[in-house]
Amino acid sequence: MNIYVLLKRTFDTEEKISIQNGQIAEDGAEFIINPYDEYAVEEAIQVRDAHGGEVTVVTVSGEESEKQLRTALAMGADKAVLINTEDDLDYGDQFTTASVLSQYLKDQDVDLILAGNVAIDGGSGQVGPRVAEQLDIPYVTTITKLEIDGETVTVTRDVEGDSEVIETSLPLLVTAQQGLNEPRYPSLPGIMKAKKKPLEELELDDLDLDEDDVEAKTKTIEIYLPPKKEAGKVLEGELDAQVSELVQLLRNEAKVV
């Protein structure tokens, strides 16, 4: 079985974000595999171990993403592909990423594609479904369970606190939700093996693409941090007085009633 995982490099979840000159400051920041993509990598490895085949992790980024690809290889993936757009594109969006990925995957023998449900930086959840649409294969999002029997796939997906069970077939794209599995930590032997595993680097020219083919459909107008939360207020006195004061505060200060 040929299994592909769509990977993204994101800020560490513990990283404090700062804005400089209207852009997110990356100097000195720590980056990790997008946490939802870790579930996708883990599930891909488990599927391969159960059904045989090969796991390839793919990302669209610059050379700095090699570290995250090597981490996925250390977790147990077999191969990695870096589609380096650093020199070709000044800006890209979800359309850009999905177009590049789908162009690469069109030439591959694909059985199963896994991606994270969302990226914790952008949070759009668009890339996986866009890739599936461009490849003209079925897709299921926010999955919490995956069972494969031959060409038949049974998927359980999270739907706002409940679950939905869907039966479909390969080839298939799914996006991983928290709870699908427990991602493993790279072991020391895994880290050593990862250094010898193949990591292929491609550019747009290698995919017969140019900048116009993948030009972003959106534009970032402004980036800003959310406003700081003001200190809370503790109401004192009898309950009736607290209720009266609360109503006045909601009406006059918060202006929500």
> 11-64 pLDDT, tens per residue?
888 878 788 777 777 777 889 999 999 999 999 999 999 999 999 999 999 999
Q: What pTM was estimated for this model as a whole?
A: 0.86
C-alpha distances (whole Å) from 170 to each of 100, 105, 150, 204 are 22, 15, 9, 28
What is the pLDDT at residue 26? 75
Question: Is the pLDDT at 72 greater than 90, yes or no?
Answer: yes
Asked if the bond preceding 171 is cis, omega within 30° of 0, the reply is: yes
Question: Is the pLDDT at 179 greater than 80, yes or no?
Answer: yes
For the chain, residues classed under CATH 3.40.50.620 are 2-214
**2-214, what's its fold?**
Rossmann fold (3.40.50)
Give the contacts of 138 (CB within 8 A, at least 6 positions apart).
132, 168, 169, 172, 173
> 101-146 pLDDT, tens per residue?
999 999 999 999 999 999 988 888 999 999 999 999 999 999 999 9
Query: What mean pLDDT is predicted for residues 159-186?
Result: 95
What is the pLDDT at residue 229? 80
